[in-house]
Amino acid sequence: MINRKHSQTAIDQRLAQTLERTKQRFVADLNHKIPEIEAIQILIQNETERQNALTRLTFITHRFNGIAATLGLQSIGDCAAEIEQQISSLVHTPTQLSLLSGRIETLLDLMEDAIVKSL
């Protein structure tokens, strides 16, 4: 019985270490994603660039939504999910684009907060 309990503890520790390393890589990647998302945000305002920009943003937010909560970054995952949903139902009116832009700003703020907390 002791060996089984000890084994489970070792597995739990390794899992925690792996998750922490994954979180560190994810947060480090945020440094590269912030300028990309800022550029996408600008491109969304350009009618000829909008569709490609929204496609790329959907890809990024889908990835964030999938992994952020697992890594203890629930607010980033939730915000990314909201953006992904907003894009899928987006009507390209100035009001809708403004709402999307505001949500993108929130995501960028959350990403920057995660980076600062990791330092």
Which residues does the chain have with pLDDT short of 50? 1
- Give the structural domain span for 108: 2-118
- What's the pLDDT at 34? 97
- What's the pLDDT at 50? 93
- What's the pLDDT at 4? 64
What angle is formed at CA 68 by the lines to CA 44 and CA 111, rounded to 5 degrees?
Answer: 55
- Residue position matching structure tokens 């009507």: 91
- What's the pLDDT at 82? 96
- What's the pLDDT at 90? 81
Domain count along the chain? 1
67: CATH: 1.20.120
Q: Among 91, 92, 40, which residue's Cα sits nearest to residue 61?
A: 40
- What's the pLDDT at 12? 84
- What's the pLDDT at 10? 82
- What's the pLDDT at 91? 78
Q: CA torsion sign, 34 to 40 to 41 to 42? A: positive
